[in-house]
Structure 1
C-alpha cells in the first residue's frame, strides 16, 4: 500500500505559481536602472510616493481584518509601513509632500483593487499582503542598501525607514513564521478558493510591475 503524499505547503504553491510574474516585476527597466544608480534621488522619491498610495490602501482596514478567521493571524502591527513612508516622504520632498504626489494610473488601479479586496474578499487581500510584506522584508532590503550607498542616506534613517522593520528583531525567523501562518490559512480554504488566491497572487505581482512601468515613462533613461 503506497503512502499518501502530503499536500504542498500553500506558501510554496504561491511562490512557485507566481514566480514568472514576480521575476517580470523585479527585473523591470525602472527597478534595474534605480538599483544600478542610473536614476537620481527624484526617481526614488517618486517610487516612495506611489508606494504610499498602495500602502495606505493596503493598511486602511488592517484593524478590522485582524478579526478575520483566515486572514487575521497574519495581520501584525509590526508590518505596517504607512507611517514610515510618510516620514521618508517628509525627508525626501518636504513638509508639503502630499501636495506634490498624484497616483499614476497603475497605482490608482492597484490601490482600488486593495480596497475592494479588503472589503469584499479577505482571502484575496491575503495574496497582496503576502507579496508586499515578504517582498519588503526580502528584496526591499536591497533597495534600502542601494539608496543608502547611492544618495547618502543615514543607515536605516530618514529616507529609507520604509524598509526598516524596527519591531522585527529577526527577519529570517519572522518570514518562516509568516509562511507557517500562510500555510495554515491555505488549509482553511477549499481547493477552489486556494486556486483563486493563487491567481490573485499573480495579479498582485503584475499590478506591482505596472506601477514600475508607469514610473518608467517618467524617466527617459528607462526608455
Structure 2
C-alpha cells in the first residue's frame, strides 16, 4: 500500500477542500466585512463539532487502530471555550445554538466516529489537518480583521506544535494503516462526507450573515 492512502486523499479530496476553502462566509470574515457576532457564531458551531469529536476520541482511545491518532496536544475544546468566554462572557453556554447543518454534522460524526476506527480517523483527519493547514491562514486573517491578540482566537493557536512536522507524521500514520482496498474506499468516502457536512455549516453561516 505504501503511501497510496495519503496520496489518494490529497487527490480525491481536492475539489471538496476547495469548496470549503472557497466559502464566501470565510472570505468575508477574513476581509473584516462581517460583524464580530458572525465570528462568534462560527466559534459556537466549532464547539458543537469538537465536543462530539473529542468525546469520540475518548471512546476510541483504547482501539488499537485509532489510538495512534488520539493526540492530546491537538485537543481544541478548552481553547474554543476560552474563546467563547471572551466573546460572550461567562454565561456563553446559554448564548450559543447549533445551526441545522451543525446538528446534522454532529449526528453523522457521533454515529461514524464512535462505531469504528475508519469513521473516527476520517473525521479526525478532516478537522485537525484542516486546522493545521488552511486554519492557520484563517486564524491569522481573523485576528487581523477583528483586532484579536490571543484572546478570542485561541482555537487557531497550537502552542508547542510544528504544524508541518505533525502533518507529515500524521500522513505517515495513515500510510501504515492495515486496511484493505475496500476499507480505504470507505475511509475516503467518509472523509468526503465530513468535508460536505463542514461546507454545509459554512453555507448556513453565509446565509445568516451575508
Report if TM-score (shorter chain) is over 0.5. Answer: yes
Give CA-to-partner distance per residue, 1:105-163, whole Å, 9 cap, x none. Answer: 11001111111112222212211111100110111111211122111111xx1111101
Deviating runs (4+, > 6 A) in structure 1? none
Shift of residue 91, structure 1, vs aligned partner: 0.2
In structure 1, distance between residues paired with 2:58 and 2:189: 25
Match of 2:164 in 1: 172
> Quick one: which of 136, 150, 162 aligns to 2:155?
162
* Alignment check: 8 A CA contact 1:53 1:107 kept: yes
* Counterpart-to-counterpart distance in 1, 2:56 and 2:207: 32
Q: Which consecutive unaligned segments of at least 5 residues does structure 2 have?
A: none
Bigger shift: 60-69 or 144-153?
60-69
Q: How many Å apart are 1:8 and its aligned residue? A: 4.5
CA deviation map 1:83-110 (0-9, x unaligned):
1000000001111111111100110011
1:142 lines up with 2:121 in the alignment: no
Deviations 1:154-183 (A, max 9, x none): 1xx111110111142x22111111110111
Q: Matched residues in 2 for 1:176 and 1:8: separation?
A: 12
State how far apart, in whole Å, the 1-side matches of 2:67 and 2:10 are. 21
Task: Specify which of 205, 209, 213 is matched with residue 199 of structure 2.
Answer: 209
Match of 1:48 among 43, 46, 50: 43
| Aligned equivalents of 1:165, 1:7: Cα separation in 2 | 29
User: Is 2:24 the counterpart of 1:29?
Assistant: yes
Find the counterpart in structure 1 of residue 111 from structure 2.
116
Aligned-residue CA RMSD (Å): 1.3
Q: How many equivalent residue pairs?
A: 210
Instruction: Calculate the TM-score normalised by the size of structure 2.
Output: 0.95
Greater gyration radius: 1
Deviations 1:4-29 (A, max 9, x none): xx654311211211111111111011
Q: For 2:7 and 2:88, how far apart are their aligned partners in 1?
A: 39
* Distance (Å, rounded) in 2 between the aligned partners of 1:128 and 1:118: 7
Deviations 1:49-86 (A, max 9, x none): 00100000000131231221222111110010001000
CA distance in 2, matches of 1:25, 1:147: 16
Equivalents in 2 of 1:167, 1:11: separation in Å? Answer: 25
Conserved? CA contact 1:57–1:111, under 8 Å:
yes
